[in-house]
Structure 1
Amino acid sequence: MEDWGLRQAAATDVEAVAELRALVLRADLERLGRYDAQRVRQRLRDGFDPAHTWVIETGGAFAGCVALRPAGDCHWLEHFYLAPDRQGGGIGSAVLRELLERCDRAATVVRLNVLRGSPARRLYERHGFTMRTEDPVDVFMTREPSRPNPAPRCRSGRT
């Protein structure tokens, strides 16, 4: 797996993220009859919050992004996009694992939605997400926090 890192997003990252979103979602949105080149970018711009977004970098260059937005009793995993030439090498799994570990430490439920038929759903299922509901476009998934195994009980050595 290629070295990767996360950095806090800045407002100036919005256009790079919007372009990546349009590229990554295009095939799934076209399959669902929902692709609109301007709308796919504008929806990202309208919901972009650098305070809860990280840029994924490989070799110091932009490779993707992910957001983890607090919302009441849970966090929403959003805008998780990885450049196509970076997919399939374990970076997405590593990023997701790191974010989920943070949520596990805080005992926080994580929710997300993924487009119906998207191969990304398998990634989320491998990391413990389960389908809650779906509509003609989206599948809504939830992951409960992992509970650490209780410490082994000490034995007194008596029989």
Structure 2
Amino acid sequence: MTTPDFTLRPERAEDEPFLRRLYVAIRMPEVEAMGWPEEMRQTFLEQQFSMQRSHYRTHYHDAEFSVIEADGAAVGRLYLFRGRRDHRIVDISLLPEVSGKGIGGALLDQVMTEAAALGRGVSIHVEGFNPARRLYDRKGFQEIEQRGPYWLMEWFPEGVIPAAAVFQLNTAS
């Protein structure tokens, strides 16, 4: 299997229409199930996008906000916070038409390789019903804790002990 051809570039102000379209494309199936009229679904998702964007900018202000491009077109986003303990994937999203083509797996491999070289792990919060969980499982991520619909999943390179495990070892003695 060949690695898909994609690039990451810093997010720019002019990317906002694409980012809105991406958010709507990803979340629309959930909202369609509610049976709301089209206008209500669209308004709701626009509001949710704005609130999520504000939350990310406030709580992860020093994260790297990147747009994923393939064949010169924007196809997704990767928001990555590089902490002292781990690399937190704040958000990884791909347009439905490119999902399942290997870009997400290749991005995870890049993030994991970079984190491992620094002796760090990788973490992500993922909804329990998200099909991407299968990818995280294949990559060796472990479920750590559940908060509402989200699971915190972590991966650490061989030989690196997660901080929580060190804390448990120290308190057990």
- Which TM class, normalised by the smaller chain length? 0.7 to 0.9
The equivalent of 2:165 in structure 1 is none
Matched, 1:67 2:79: yes
The equivalent of 1:6 in structure 2 is 8
- Tell me the amino acid that sits aligned with residue 19 of structure 1: R
1 CA distance for matches of 2:51 and 2:117? 31
Matched, 1:102 2:104: no
Structure 1 pair 134–84 and aligned structure 2 pair: CA distance change class (3 A):
same
User: Which range moves more in the overlay, 56-65 or 68-77?
Assistant: 68-77
2 CA distance for matches of 1:86 and 1:63? 7
Gaps of 5+ in 2: 35-40, 161-173
Q: Percent identity?
A: 26
Q: How many residues align?
A: 147
Q: TM-score, length-normalised on structure 2?
A: 0.72
Whether the aligned pair in 1 keeps the contact of 2:112 and 2:121 (CA below 8 Å) is: no
Which whole-Å deviations, capped at 9, do the CAs of 1:44-69 have from their partners, x for residues lacking one?
Answer: 32114585122111101101011111
The equivalent of 2:45 in structure 1 is 37
Q: What RMSD over aligned residues (CA atoms) do the two structures have, in Å?
A: 2.7
Name which of 126, 134, 149 aligns with 2:146: 134
Whether the aligned pair in 1 keeps the contact of 2:86 and 2:120 (CA below 8 Å) is: yes
Whether the aligned pair in 2 keeps the contact of 1:115 and 1:137 (CA below 8 Å) is: yes
User: 1 or 2, which has the higher helix percentage?
Assistant: 2
Q: TM-score, length-normalised on structure 1?
A: 0.78
Structure 1 pair 29–50 and aligned structure 2 pair: CA distance change class (3 A):
farther
Structure 1 residue 144: Cα displacement: 0.9
Which whole-Å deviations, capped at 9, do the CAs of 1:8-40 have from their partners, x for residues lacking one?
Answer: 2224334422331232133356669xx841342
1 CA distance for matches of 2:17 and 2:159? 38
Gaps of 5+ in 1: 149-159
